[in-house]
Amino acid sequence: MAASPASPTATAAVPGHRSAPPAAGAGALLVVGFVLMSLNTRVAFGQIGPLAPVAGFSPAMVSLLGLLPPLCMGAFAPLAAVVRRRLGEERGLWWASLVLVAGAVLRMLSMPGLFAGTVVVSAATAVVNVLIPVLVRKRFPRERVGAMMGLYALSMGAGSALVAAMVVPVAQAAGSWQPAIGLAIVPAVLAAAGPTPQLRHRPARPAPVAAGTERAGRPHVARTGLAWSLTAFFGVQTLAFYTTLAWLPSILVQAGLDRGAAGTGQALLICGVAAGGFAAPVLAAKRTDQRPHILATILICAAGFTGLLLAPTGTAMLWVVVLGIGLGAGQALPGVLYAHRGSDHDHVTALSTMAQTGGFLLAATGPVLASALHSATGAWTAPLAALTATLLICTATSMRAGHDPK
């Protein structure tokens, strides 16, 4: 990432300080590196769903591979605060990108490598997830926070959609799932290469305060309703996202679509995720009250699940896109909420860490519970209805995250 020309000492000394705008060349490199890293962030997690029917992965395998990313991202999210204190945001993100490359290579080597590499990729992604909102808050003016978080979500969805659309043809042409999994190496290498030229710049070092600890009379985040509301909103949205990512192709196949069409459905879902992920933060960042955006996100997701539950096969793809828009908004909107509700960089880090730790651990239960409900009932009706109900019930607990009473 491009480093800001602002003095590291001055930046570290002022909580919540934003770096001065970089020169045009440095700013362009910052954005390019940001986009390349964003393209890679969810690529690995969108491969298993389309591959499952083609590669013959068992339901137990799909469930475990759907469980590992949110479980590991929740478990490793607190590591991001340590990485930030030791390396700063820019270098921390670069090292996380290198680890992602290693994990992407490991995933294609063998079946045990697929599981181990998924753990490695998920751990590195946990660091990226927490540090991105902090980087955006620090390096960009407040009026550009929404645009940059939208660009992050759009790039993330575009990279994942492109690879998701390619995995089935590559697996069928190669006669093996491994080359299809290996597609993720390309965006991982680009993500690591993008910010490499900027490593000569010294990053601003944040003050050595652990994420979540008290500062100037501020209570620990775990004692605030704001943090718990953020965790509830992010957790339920992420539970819905990873459950859908793991099982949508199987849902579409059981609804009567062929395997190729189911893979296309996964790509359409992720295109919707990209569109919703771009629009939601751009619109929300312009307002001081994001409660209407939270409500709209929940209702769009609920409409998408209801459409899949009730609509005939002919309109399934329409509801897949609607669902993708809602899920994309639910993944991108929290980044704006962290940046707007946080009082300084440490507070943003603490809010982001707590919401993602608790949220991802909650989300890890989604693919497994959906599989259990499907096995018990023999259909996807119960899992889709349960996801819809959970989203609607969560509405009340999510509202505090969108409003600052001060």
Query: In this structure, is residue 14 part of a structural domain?
Result: no
Query: In this structure, is residue 99 part of a structural domain?
Result: yes
Residue 102 · residue 120 · CB < 8 Å: yes
Least confident of 134-148, 236-250, 289-303, 370-384: 134-148
Return the structure tokens found at 358.
């608790």
What is the model's pLDDT at position 132? 82
pLDDT bin (cut points 50, 70, 90) of residue 384 is very high
Query: In this structure, is residue 216 part of a structural domain?
Result: no
Average pLDDT over the chain reads 80
- CATH number of the domain where residue 166 is located: 1.20.1250.20
What is the model's pLDDT at position 291? 92
Return the structure tokens found at 322.
């609607």
Query: In this structure, is residue 353 part of a structural domain?
Result: yes
Higher-pLDDT residue of 86, 139: 86
pLDDT surpassing 50 at residue 16: no
pLDDT surpassing 80 at residue 17: no
Query: In this structure, is residue 277 part of a structural domain?
Result: yes
DSSP 336: H
Residue 193: enclosing H or E segment and its boundaries? helix 185-193
What is the model's pLDDT at position 284? 87
Q: What is the CA radius of gyration of the chain?
A: 20
Sign of CA dihedral 44, 46, 52, 57: positive
What's the rounded mean pLDDT across residues 50-70?
79
Highest mean pLDDT (candidates 87-96, 120-129, 244-253): 120-129
- For 62, 299, 329, the CA distances from 335, given in Å and listed in that order, are 28, 19, 10
What is the model's pLDDT at position 29? 66
Query: In this structure, is residue 6 part of a structural domain?
Result: no
What's the rounded mean pLDDT across residues 363-383?
88
Residue 47 · residue 178 · CB < 8 Å: no
pLDDT digits 0-9 by tens, 174-219: 888 889 888 888 888 888 887 676 566 555 554 554 444 445 455 6
Query: In this structure, is residue 12 part of a structural domain?
Result: no
What's the rounded mean pLDDT across residues 5-21?
39
Query: In this structure, is residue 15 part of a structural domain?
Result: no
* Domain that includes residue 142, residue range: 24-209+221-402
The count of domains in the chain is: 1
> What percent of the chain has pLDDT above 70?
85
Q: Which residue has the tokens 């997690």?
A: 45
What's the rounded mean pLDDT across residues 349-362?
86
> What percent of the chain has pLDDT above 90?
19
pLDDT digits 0-9 by tens, 307-324: 988 876 778 889 999 999
What is the model's pLDDT at position 402? 83
List the one residue out of 342, 281, 13 whose CA is nearest residue 156.
281
List the one residue out of 92, 83, 146 whose CA is nearest residue 335.
146
Least confident of 100-114, 207-221, 257-271: 207-221
- Reported pTM: 0.74
Distance CA 51, CA 56 (A): 8
Distance CA 119, CA 316 (A): 32
What's the rounded mean pLDDT across residues 364-373?
87
Return the structure tokens found at 221.
């985040």
Higher-pLDDT residue of 327, 10: 327
